[in-house]
Structure 1
Amino acid sequence: MDDKDYRKDTKSPDTSDNHTEEKEEDSYEKVCYMCRRPEGKTGPMISMPGGMNLCHDCMQKAFDSVTKGGMDFSKLSNMPYMNMNIRDLDLTPPAAEIPKKQKLKKKSREQPFLTMKDIPAPHVIKEKLDEYIVGQEKAKKVVSVAVYNHYKRAFLGLSSETRQSGSGEEDIVIEKSNILMLGPTGCGKTYLVKTLAKLLDVPLAIADATSLTEAGYIGDDIESVVSKLLAAAGNDVERAERGIIFIDEIDKIAKKKQTNTRDVSGESVQQELLKLLEGSTVEVPVGSNQKNAMTPMATVNTDNILFICGGAFPDLDEIIKERLKKKASIGFGSVLKDAFDNEPDILNYVTNEDLRAFGMIPEFLGRLPVTVSLQGLTEDMMIRILREPKNAITKQYEKLLAMDEVRLVFEEDALRWIAREAIKRGTGARALRAILEEFMLDIMYEIPKDSNIGSVVVTRPYLEKNGGPLVQMRG
């Protein structure tokens, strides 16, 4: 036998064995390595190196999690019928370039936060406030001027670190004028600031002083008010540094009369607020009010932030009257001791001496140079509040019933009765809504029952519970 014949005879058995093995492998279904489903349910598999098979769904999920955009493997031709090496694929999705930080910073600088044309004049701000707020002319004027100067100060970018200009003359540093607002409850302190936030495109944060405590105690830290402003500015530090912070219930952090215990929510909070009011650099958490190792921190400079503090200051009027009575003397030019007993705007006579007697420390008052007092609401002002503002309470109810195609009318005597009742309750403008909610309940409940009702008139006998509202049918 020749050598060629010998090699042919010895090779043929091996070839036949390989064919039998391939036929045996083809007789079994492929199973996905991830979801363990057979090829009969998933469709053709993708064969990976090492004898591992993956279905299209599991492969797509794997690449989506890696590329955050992924590739659609089902659209690739002949994909299920070839053995592939995953390292040979170009998995970078098109147009998935990550922008550099330098380009983002450069873009933000090209778009300035303010221009001189965008700064609203004080009279424009006051005219917008007049559409929503009744009375309080002095307070609206003071706030309008303060916000106007704050805008210009933020535009100029002046601070205590201003250096000499190119002309050699020292630039004038414009200091911020923080505001202290005084007024009885329900006179519109918080509503004035909230309305200002809607009318102006400036970040504004409203914080409550009652929740503030000294660092290390249960409660919010002082830096939490800056953290709220940063959140209101969309975590943009540059915008937050030109915003406004309104601290409500500032009278609740007055110095306590008892000195035997540590005053962690009174005088200590005033001392902690000094650095924020004056202007300093603080580290605040981003997206949270608590500092921990997992929370990112941001550095905010409060030098250009305008602070407005408001409070009712109960019993401050008695302190003012006591001081005014001491000036009474004997003679024709003397002041009677009971001359200020019925004074409705007694807070207009307030001085720093009265506020110190109330419990505010002098360092705190020195950083709030502008003090404005809001008037208590009278009966005529209550009636105007019910009718004149754009979002008056009566207009809100009229709109609600107009959706049911019913016309709502309030008589003049009914509005005056509501105003007198609100004054008796002593909670200011908040009492107006409470009274209307009480009497409008039955009307809002009964009117939708009958679709033939065309109009409803709220009368004074109905409010005095001596009758019902006047209901007129359609036609």
Structure 2
Amino acid sequence: MSPAADSNAALAEPPTADAPAAGLRPCEQIRPPEILQELERGVLGQDRALRYVAVAIFKHTTGKVPGNLLMIGNSGTGKTTIMNNIQRLYNEVPEYQPFRAVTIINANLLVDADRLEFRPDRLLKAVEQRARSVAGPEPSPERLKQAIERATICVDEIDKMSSVLAGKPNALGVVLQQGLLTLMEGEQLAYPVHAWVDGEEKLVTLEIDTKHMMFICGGAFEGLYDQVYARVTKPGSGEKLKTKTIRTAEGQVRIETYFSLAESLKMRDLFTFGMVPQFMARFEKVVLLDDLSIDVLRQILLKSFDSPLVRAQEFFRVIDIELTIDDLAASLIAEQAAKDSRTGARALRPIVSEIINPLEFDPWNHPALERLDGGGYRMTITADMARAVIKK
């Protein structure tokens, strides 16, 4: 290839979803099972929810129909993790380069509390920052417009913007839901940006059409659990709690009564909570994330990059100590964390931190330290260490 050709290739426009680069598949060929497999690399214990996310991504990237989702789950069940992994998926799959404008924004930032006004410009500003990396250096107005209009918008803590708060009307919540509803239906927004025109950077106004954006909203919906539980257990409701048999890490068997929000939630419960019916109608699916089981919590403890154990292992590796954990200790920790279903995987952190702290404080004089024959050292978290913390 000649130097001139090299120069022209360097200045070439990035690939678009309509015209993928040579050697890349059309997005229609990346089907939901493949998307699901990729998402499962970064999210544990939410296979059912991820199936809906995979379908939503397929619909969004093929431009067929909007795949907007509302995710409901207790703190620590993986809502933000799923949002982050959507972004990771777009970044790692070459065919999804045109869709890499992903923004995760807190719901309360989209409303001006003083003026009771929805602020779509704040949302577009966050999207623009990501869109510039997609559009490449010296982007034309057309390239920026394409990148922005194909964005994925992840709105976190949407439940904090309900139309009812502490039993009283919440005007901010109504404003936010109506504002997002308009965007999800498809709105033309005039948005000023700096873009390159005829070799010069100029201030231009783009007409942004939001109908091709994908919206993933999520929240813990604190209070919804108690609200639905009260309805289910109310005398005469015709519903009842279920039971399950549990075998503990120590081998004991017990029967527990449990309540599952996913199995009992009805759309009218969300209306009672304060979600506007017209807003809810714009979501293709309300996805309830599962409470994390003992087995899933154990997997997260041992394998998740964000696990407090994995992070501790990285610390000890720096000082030439291999930190391990025996099977029973891992099961005991997961079993204890599962008792706090409202905090999900976050319940692992205080337990592990309590166990790890004495080891981190003075590992060289700790009785658990052992020298390895091949050099280096090892420390093992035992079941006795776990029991000692759990019994406190």
Instruction: Assess same fold via TM > 0.5.
Output: yes
Distance in 1, matches of 2:168 and 2:233, equals 32
Q: Is the 8 A contact 2:164 2:273 kept in 1?
A: no
Aligned to 2:180: 273
Aligned residues: 331
Once the 2 structures are TM-superposed, how far is the Cα of residue 304 of structure 1 from its aligned partner? 0.7
**Compared CA separation, residues 118 and 414, structure 1 to 2 (3 A):** farther
Give the letter for the 1:377 counterpart.
L
- The Cα offsets for residues 368-405 of structure 1, whole Å up to 9 and x where unpaired, read as 12111111112222112112446654333333322332
2:68 to 175, 178, 181: 178
Q: Distance in 2 between matches of 1:260 and 1:336?
A: 29
Residue correspondence of structure 1 range 99-114 to structure 2 within 5 A: 107-108=12-13, 111-113=15-17
Matched, 1:310 2:218: yes
Q: State the 1:135 CA deviation.
A: 1.6
Cα RMSD for the two superposed structures: 3.6
Q: 1:336 to 1:451 in 2, by over 3 A?
A: closer
Task: Supply the distance in 2 between the matched residues of 1:177 and 1:327 (Cα, whole angstroms).
Answer: 39
Give the superposition deviation at 1:245.
Answer: 0.6
Select the residue among 127, 130, 134 that pairs with 2:44. Answer: 134
Higher Cα Rg: structure 1 or 2?
1
- Match of 2:273, as an amino acid? F
Q: 1:451 to 1:386 in 2, by over 3 A?
A: closer
Q: Flag the 1:319–1:254 CA change in 2: closer, same or farther, 3 A.
A: same
Aligned residue in 2 for 1:226: 124
Q: Is the 8 A contact 1:131 1:390 kept in 2?
A: no
> Aligned AA for 1:455?
R
Cα displacement (A) at 1:122: 1.3
1:146 Cα offset (Å): 0.6
The secondary structure found in structure 2 opposite 1:177 is coil
* Structure of greater relative contact order (alpha carbons < 8 Å, 6+ residues apart): 2
Q: Verify the 8 A CA contact 2:326 2:382 in the aligned structure 1.
A: yes
Per the alignment, residue 286 of structure 2 pairs with 371
- Superposition deviation, residue 214 in structure 1: 4.4
Partner-residue secondary structure (3-state), 1:181: strand
Distance 1:347 1:284, change over 3 A: farther
Q: Which 10-residue stretch deviates more, 389-398 or 176-185?
A: 389-398
Query: Amino acid of the residue matched to residue 124 of structure 2?
Result: V
Whether the 8 Å contact between 1:211 and 1:220 is mirrored in structure 2 is: no
Structure 1: stretches of 5+ with no match in the other structure:
1-102, 154-173, 288-294, 330-334, 467-475
Inter-partner Cα distance in structure 2 for 1:318 and 1:259:
14
Say which of 228, 231, 234 aligns to 1:320. Answer: 228
- Structure 2: how far apart are the matches of 1:436 and 1:219? 44
Deviation at 1:216, TM superposition (A): 5.7
Instruction: Measure the CA separation in 2 of the matches of 1:396 and 1:118.
Output: 39
Q: Among residues 104, 111, 136, which one is paired with 1:206 in the alignment?
A: 104
Query: What SS does structure 2 have at the residue aligned with 1:265?
Result: helix
CA distance in 1, matches of 2:241, 2:34: 41
Partner of 1:26: none
1:349 positional shift: 3.4
Aligned partner (choices 425, 429, 435) of residue 345 of structure 2: 429
Match of 2:83 in 1: 193
For residue 223 of structure 1, give the secondary structure of its aligned residue in structure 2: helix
Shift of 1:286: 4.9
Instruction: Decide whether the 8 Å contact of 2:109 with 2:122 is kept in 1.
Output: no
Whole-Å separation in 1 of the counterparts to 2:52 and 2:302? 25
Does the aligned pair in 2 maintain the 1:274–1:363 contact within 8 Å? yes
Letter in 2 for 1:256: V
In 2: Cα distance, 1:322 partner to 1:265 partner: 27
- Counterpart in 2 of 1:463? 386
Secondary structure of 1:283's aligned partner: strand
Gaps of 5+ in 2: 1-7, 92-99, 134-143, 195-202, 244-255
Structure-2 separation of matches of 1:142 and 1:337: 28
1:283 counterpart = 2:181: no
Q: Give, in whole Å, the separation in 2 of the partners of 1:216 and 1:275.
A: 21
Contact 1:215 1:222 in 2 (8 A): no
State the match for 1:441 in structure 2.
Answer: 357
Pick which of 380-389 and 216-225 moved more. 216-225
| Offset of residue 152 of structure 1 | 0.6
Q: Tell me which amino acid in the other structure corresponds to 2:45.
A: G
Matches within 5 A, 1:147-162: 147-153=57-63
Equivalent AA in structure 2 for residue 381 of structure 1: V
Letter in 1 for 2:101: P
Letter in 2 for 1:274: L
TM-superposition CA deviations, 1:164-218 (whole Å, max 9, x none): xxxxxxxxxx431211111111110111110221122322100111333247638
Q: Identity over aligned residues, as a percent?
A: 26
> How far has the Cα of 1:422 moved from its partner?
2.3
Contact preservation (8 Å) 1:129, 1:140: yes
Q: Give TM-score scaled by structure 1 length.
A: 0.61
TM normalised by structure 2 equals 0.73
Instruction: Give CA-to-partner distance per residue, 1:56-79, whole Å, 9 cap, x none.
Output: xxxxxxxxxxxxxxxxxxxxxxxx
Q: What letter matches 1:387 in structure 2? A: L
Give the match's secondary structure for 2:88.
helix
Q: 1:257 to 1:465 in 2, by over 3 A?
A: closer
Asked if structure 1 preserves the Cα contact closer than 8 Å seen for 2:55 and 2:67, the reply is: no
Please report how far the alpha carbon of residue 145 of structure 1 lies from its aligned counterpart in structure 2 after TM superposition.
0.8
Structure 1 residue 260, shift from structure 2 partner: 8.1
d(CA) in 1 for partners of 2:227, 2:112: 28
Contact 1:209 1:252 in 2 (8 A): yes
8 Å CA contact retained: 2:118, 2:176: no
